[in-house]
Structure 1
Amino acid sequence: KEAKNMKKLSFLIVLLLIACLICENALAVNVFFTTKDVNFVPNQRLEIEYAAQNGNNEDMGISVFFTGDLAQYMSAEPANFPLGAGKTKKFTVIINFPEKIEKPGTHSETISIKEDRYNQKGTIVVFAQVNQPLRIHVPYSGKYLDASLSTDGAKQNQPITFKVSVANLGDETINSVYGTVYAYNSDNVTIGSASTDSASNLESNTQQELSTLMSSTGIMPGRYWADADMYYDGATKRTDRIEFRIGELKAQITNYTQQGYFGKINRFNVEAESSWNDPINNVYADVTLKNDTQVLNSFRTLADTLSPWEKKNLGGYIELSNVPIGNYTVEITLNYAGKTDFVSGNFEAVEEPKPEPEKPKVFPGSAIATIVGMTLLLINIIIWIMISKKKRDSNAK
């Protein structure tokens, strides 16, 4: 009997391990879609194409359902369908909009695609689910303008291009919209302004881009801020304030490696930052290590390109094989576009710390949780076997 019970226990353990392996690969459905945003139109029937892909090597069933405050208007065709191993199948999400939705603004809905997968005997069932967001935009009553400001900045003494994206989120047509862009310094003092072009007959759920040029003559390179007042049919909308830059052809050293291990070759980084609106090519640094006036070592970093406003490390290697422990002077010259930036500072050669003794390996939290869970399950199985054995023994008596 004991041998028989051990066989049962071994069989249950094997089933448990198989179940764990199946659960690891449970989520095997991918979903493809064309949009995440739609606009409400009264009484409209809207159809959106989706596709489900089975990324596993076994067949599954797919079911589609919806959650959200507008889920009652949503359905899928088909809502349930089989999906073969490695196959892709299209389905359609249908929205039957009502005459009116009371709450304006953006409604966040969820399209859930659930997979139902079975083993050949049908004894193990794994459910996994993929959720895809869908935002439904319901217009406000009357005329409602939304506006956002953007710019890439400009080079010193060149015009700054500002763009304003305007959208009519109301249910009435906006007859005319135009605006003024204002620029500010760090003290919130206005340093410039410019009028945008205008748009007319901006219908509900449509948008348009307006633009303007602002002079930067006399404005020093640096960081600035801007916003815009947009005027439409007797109302005003102010955009959020944004940051922009006036650039100059300049790159500077912002940091460098200040310590290395004596007796070996060390990685050495020079951090360079661009203040220019265009890429700066072939940027590199010449590094010299000195002990007072004696040159101990020198090298050149690899050349690289700095993107507009980018901060990047230029890498090289410093030889400290014959440099004793101590403090030294490092001189760095950054070379770019026929210009240079120079920094002189401290560099320390130190002894490399001895490696710490290897610590005992610790299982990650997830592994511990898995082991504890499996142990508890095995204990329950053993208890169940013992109780069953006692019942059989009692019945036999």
Structure 2
Amino acid sequence: MCRMLVILAAMAISLSVASGSALAIGITPGGTTIDFKPGLEKEVPFTIINNEHKDMDVVVYVKEGPYSDWVALYDTIMTFSSDDDSKGSKYSVRLPQSVEKPGTHQVDIVAMELPKEKEGGGAFVGATTAVVTQLLVRVPYPGKYATLDLAVSEAQAGEPVNFFVKARNLGTEDISNAKATLDILGPTNEKIATLESGESGIGAKSMKEFKLTWTGQTNPGVYHAVVTLRYDGKVTTAEKNFAVGNLYIDVLSIDVKDFRLGGVAKFNINIENKWNDKITGVYGNLIIEDDNGQSVADVKTASTDVGALERKEIYAYWDTEGVKVGDYDARFILHYSGRTTEKDLKTHVEVSDIRVDIMGLGAGAVTVETTGAGGTSNMIMLLVVALIGINAGWFFYFRRRSEQR
């Protein structure tokens, strides 16, 4: 039974951390980072938040791990009333004289709501949640050792793109000379531009930020950045994808040729992919209405793929048998990658001609939800199931204990 409770508790902790909006309790800060010093002793405060303003008991413990003996708690049980917004506590850190393995080492401090026992025995079965604050201890590398973090600013097409390169020297020795070089690659991995920083030193256990700016002609799309830091005869790299602008396909024009009323009208729809990569599964809907707002046509184009920055013609067909000469309101909706481009149209039908005018030129892409809330709902459902399992375990545990009494 105890082993099952531990497994279920671990499930609840991981789910609770991933779905913070569903938590009855919170904890702050989410983490504390300290640099290793031999024999360092330090106290670290943290706060548990009573999000639901209810009466509850919270157990606090250090998750078992290779470095858990570095931490000692001041409070293992904290009692909250409905009037308590939050309560503070702390833990002490005592580091050893040396650590063999360099790098960042993690210790998890867990706060978990306890179910309340009913009067006369038994346990209340309800949601039990847990949250984690982390202690991160950075143990320096011998000599010179640099790591990189790369952040990219948001930008629209034609705007400058800023890159922020954070170089951290996690070593015990100063870096005399460091220089960042950043390559920008297109969707087919071709090199588009190269940016270089100036040279700079980086002190031991210190950080230096390099800012690089790309001012070239930028088309909308996804790009790949690779940054290389060369320092005192050593090299390290980091990379990430970044986007410029928004994924968008424009509708340039719509026309009908060789038409005769009563026959099938072929609408030639010219579209242009503004994105720098191929977009698959593109199709459109043409909806035509009469003066009373009644639909006289709702036709769909074939699905197609549109290459990077490609212009392409797609087709919609309208059977005009029984259709009268006159003006019709219409709209064309282009569907692609969970987005739509929509154009309002004025359609004038003659005996031997159909003229289509696109109303306005400012219609942009609209993101549409294609999957609903399934991802979040599934996560919450898993959380609820795990929490019910935990509380069921507590229920049987307390009942068995009551029977033994």
Q: 1:229-268 maps to which residues of 2 (within 5 A)?
A: 229-245=228-244, 251-252=250-251, 258=285
1:36 corresponds to: 31
Deviation sequence 1:296-322 (CA, Å, 0-9, x none): 7315699xxxxxxx984467999xxxx
Structure 1 residues 173 and 46, CA gap change in structure 2 (3 angstroms): farther
2:101 corresponds to: 103
Which of the numbers 49, 60, 65 marks the counterpart of 1:64?
60
Structure 1 residues 148 and 103, CA gap change in structure 2 (3 angstroms): same
Q: Report how far residue 72 of structure 1 moved.
A: 0.7
Q: 1:138-153 maps to which residues of 2 (within 5 A)?
A: 138-152=139-153
Distance 2:66 2:31 in 1: 16
Q: How many residues align?
A: 288
- Is residue 107–residue 134 contact of structure 2 (8 Å, CA) maintained in 1? yes
User: Which amino acid counterpart does residue 132 of structure 2 have in structure 1?
Assistant: Q
Distance 1:70 1:194 in 2: 42
- Is residue 251–residue 336 contact of structure 1 (8 Å, CA) maintained in 2? no
Distance 2:102 2:245 in 1: 40
Three-state SS of the structure 2 residue aligned to 1:211 is strand
- Is residue 55–residue 85 contact of structure 1 (8 Å, CA) maintained in 2? no
Q: Report how far residue 235 of structure 1 moved.
A: 0.8
Structure 1 residues 200 and 250, CA gap change in structure 2 (3 angstroms): farther
Deviation sequence 1:86-129 (CA, Å, 0-9, x none): 42321113222222222233334322223344346351235945
- Is residue 289–residue 331 contact of structure 1 (8 Å, CA) maintained in 2? no
User: Which amino acid counterpart does residue 258 of structure 1 have in structure 2?
Assistant: N
- Is residue 179–residue 197 contact of structure 1 (8 Å, CA) maintained in 2? yes
1:83 corresponds to: 80
Distance 1:297 1:251 in 2: 23
Structure 1 residues 79 and 229, CA gap change in structure 2 (3 angstroms): same
Distance 2:247 2:129 in 1: 52
Structure 1 residues 246 and 336, CA gap change in structure 2 (3 angstroms): same
Q: Which has the higher contact order (CA 8 A, sep 6+)?
A: 2
Structure 1 residues 207 and 82, CA gap change in structure 2 (3 angstroms): same
Structure 1 residues 73 and 224, CA gap change in structure 2 (3 angstroms): closer
User: Which amino acid counterpart does residue 150 of structure 2 have in structure 1?
Assistant: L
Structure 1 residues 55 and 86, CA gap change in structure 2 (3 angstroms): farther
**Larger radius of gyration, structure 1 or 2?**
1
Q: 1:1-397 maps to which residues of 2 (within 5 A)?
A: 29-42=24-37, 43-54=39-50, 59-67=55-63, 68-87=65-84, 88-119=86-117, 121=119, 123-125=121-123, 128-134=128-134, 136=136, 137-152=138-153, 159-204=160-205, 206-216=206-216, 223-245=222-244, 251-252=250-251, 258=285, 297-299=328-330, 312-313=339-340, 333=358, 335-336=360-361
Distance 2:214 2:53 in 1: 60
Q: Report how far residue 172 of structure 1 moved.
A: 3.2
Q: TM-score, normalised by structure 1?
A: 0.55
User: Which amino acid counterpart does residue 79 of structure 1 have in structure 2?
Assistant: T
2:279 corresponds to: none
Q: Report how far residue 83 of structure 1 moved.
A: 2.3
- RMSD value over aligned CA atoms? 5.2
- Is residue 29–residue 47 contact of structure 2 (8 Å, CA) maintained in 1? no
Q: Report how far residue 70 of structure 1 moved.
A: 1.4
Deviation sequence 1:1-36 (CA, Å, 0-9, x none): xxxxxxxxxxxxxxxxxxxxxxxxxx9851221242
Three-state SS of the structure 2 residue aligned to 1:170 is coil
